[in-house]
A and B are shown apart, each in its own frame.
Chain A
Amino acid sequence: AQTVTQSQPEMSVQEAETVTLSCTYDTSENNYYLFWYKQPPSRQMILVIRQEAYKQQNATENRFSVNFQKAAKSFSLKISDSQLGDTAMYFCALLYFGNEKLTFGTGTRLTIIP
């Protein structure tokens, strides 16, 4: 069985600051994918960033980057220059190769303070 743990239920940060959301996971598989999804108040799930486990290089998407530590099974999300529109629930998710089901963490509610 695979599990995804997000140990920070809520976080808040001042606008323009940098924030890091943590995610750890447990899987016996070697080939898998990791995702961060964002769910703003509209409740639309939006893909923020994805990482293939076989890639050592950390994924980046504009202000969003990850710190992927495969040995430690850690996949944190860093948001730089945070904006009010970043206020949302953030879910970390795991998908192992050959499976179709996403395993979600419990989420971190991030609030950006003006």
Chain B
Amino acid sequence: GAVVSQHPSRVICKSGTSVKIECRSLDFQATTMFWYRQFPKQSLMLMATSNEGSKATYEQGVEKDKFLINHASLTLSTLTVTSAHPEDSSFYICSARVPRSETQYFGPGTRLLVL
């Protein structure tokens, strides 16, 4: 099956610092990856759609300057939370779409805690 990894699995940082989260498709090339945010006991909220070689498409209300997304290769997308604040603490999940398929496979998520 399609495998997606995320790194790190959890990170604690100080307010004002930047944090980078990596999302990799391990056994397939993903032209499209997605970044979600999940609050406790809630559903997933799509933040942005990341296409290889082009700028990410952000959902309404998501600050593109705060959540920088780069999809530099067909197997790697990164999310950088810039100048993180405690309200950015959350669970971030990426997914990747298998080419010629409508199915998204998800990474294991990254728990971010900003102190």
Residues of A within 8 A of B (CB): 33, 35, 37, 42-47, 50, 91, 95, 97, 100-102, 104-107
Q: A33-B102, A102-B104 are in contact. Are A44 and B109 (CB under 8 A)?
A: yes
Q: Which of B60-68, B79-87, B89-97 is the interface stretch?
A: B89-97
Contact residues in B for A42 (Cβ distance below 8 Å):
108
Point out the residue from A46, A50, A100, A106 that lies within 8 Å of B97, measured CB to CB.
A100
Q: Is B44 an interface residue (CB 8 A)?
A: yes
Tell me whether B106 and A44 are in contact (CB under 8 A): yes
Does the CB pair B49–A43 fall under 8 Å?
no
User: Chain B: residues with CB nearer than 8 A to chain A?
Assistant: 32, 34, 38, 42-44, 46, 49, 91, 93, 95, 97, 102-106, 108-109
A-B contacts at CB below 8 angstroms, number = 44
- B103 → A minimal CB distance (Å): 6
Q: Which residue in A37, A43, A100 is a CB contact (below 8 Å) of B32?
A: A100
Is there contact, CB below 8 Å, between A45 and B93? yes
Can you name the residue of chain B whose Cβ is closest to the Cβ of A42?
B108
**Cα distance A50–B102 when bound, in Å?**
10
* B4, chain A: closest CB distance, angstroms: 9
On chain A, the residues within 8 Å of B106 by CB distance are 37, 44-46
A residues in contact with B44, CB < 8 Å: 45, 91, 104
Q: Which of A44, A46, A91, A102 contacts B46 (CB 8 A)?
A: A102
Closest 5 pairs between A and B when the two form their complex, measured CB to CB:
A45-B106, A44-B108, A104-B43, A33-B102, A43-B109
Neighbouring A residues of B105 by C-beta, 8 Å: 47
